[in-house]
A = this chain, B = another copy of it.
């Protein structure tokens, strides 16, 4: 599977379903999320990805904004848009991990509109853990790795 998107008339992989994911988080949309066409601007989806993943990390005790000596730098993100989301929709983000390296982790995230079982958008998000000061990659520690393993898809 290449990064080159197929023309719209060609088959694309079917949108993800909820059963694919390990954790779910509910997110509210905002008035300013809607663009001039009346739907959620494509940028906002990444803000929801970020919030879902980091919200989960904080809840698990894996991210302390001020004290963590290691931070997760985002090195790559991507999103495919299947259907429209719009304020005031309630959105559920499904999250899981598709790849776990020595210092990197790749999350898969999908956004579901209201009660829908079919993703309106899905994408990924790669964190590389680095030392907060030197910004050099560091190995993911055992506590974090163990939590990440529970999220593997």
Size bracket, chain A contacts:
35 or more
Cα–Cα distance between A66 and B133 once the two chains are bound (Å): 12
Cα–Cα distance between A4 and B88 once the two chains are bound (Å): 29
Copies in the complex: 4
Is A116 in contact with chain B by the CB < 8 A criterion? Answer: no
Cα–Cα distance between A137 and B7 once the two chains are bound (Å): 10
Is A18 in contact with chain B by the CB < 8 A criterion? Answer: no
Whether A65 and B81, one on each chain, are in contact in the complex, defined by CB atoms closer than 8 angstroms, is: no
**A28: contacting residue among B28, B99, B103, CB under 8 A:** B28
Cα–Cα distance between A66 and B37 once the two chains are bound (Å): 9
Cα–Cα distance between A9 and B136 once the two chains are bound (Å): 10
Whether B75 and A81, one on each chain, are in contact in the complex, defined by CB atoms closer than 8 angstroms, is: yes
Whether B35 and A99, one on each chain, are in contact in the complex, defined by CB atoms closer than 8 angstroms, is: no
Is A47 in contact with chain B by the CB < 8 A criterion? Answer: yes
Known A32-B35, A50-B42, A81-B76: A104·B66 in contact at CB below 8 Å? no
Nearest 7 interchain pairs by C-beta: A78-B78, A42-B74, A31-B50, A8-B128, A7-B101, A43-B46, A30-B51
